[in-house]
Amino acid sequence: MESLADKAILSGAENRPLMLEKDMYDSWRSRMEMYMLNRQHGRIILESVEHGPLIWPSVTEDGVTRLKKYSELSSAEATKSDCDVKATNIILQALPLEIYALV
């Protein structure tokens, strides 16, 4: 016969399941990947998540080095930059409200 104590999770005890168990998030990850791939420039958005955002190129003028302005980027770099913003928004939309508030 089972008792209530067999099913209880005691406060302070280390008998809870791991929160960041990798297998628990595989379905969430696959849904996010499918959502990203179904967007315009989906492959670029997914690559932005997997490999990090665009490293903005710099330019030197009159001995001063600065990052390029958005208007100075090539069309491929501008598309990559736009996709970085879309990827960030997709990730932030999927976060629970209590975690989103921390970001």
| Per-residue pLDDT, 94 | 77
Cα 50 to Cα 37: distance, rounded to the nearest angstrom: 13
Rounded mean pLDDT for each run of 10 residues along the chain, 103 residues in total: 57 56 71 87 90 89 92 93 91 76 70
Parallel/antiparallel/unpaired status of strands 58-61 and 64-67: antiparallel
Beta bridge partners of 59: 66
pTM of the model: 0.64
**Which token pair is 96?**
């629970």
Mapped to the 3 state alphabet, what secondary structure does 5-47 carry?
HHHCCCCCCCCCCCCCCHHHHHHHHHHHHHHHHCCCCHHHHHH
Q: How far apart are CA 47 and CA 67, in angstroms?
A: 22
pLDDT for res 1: 55
pLDDT value of position 96: 74
Q: Which amino acid is at 70?
A: Y
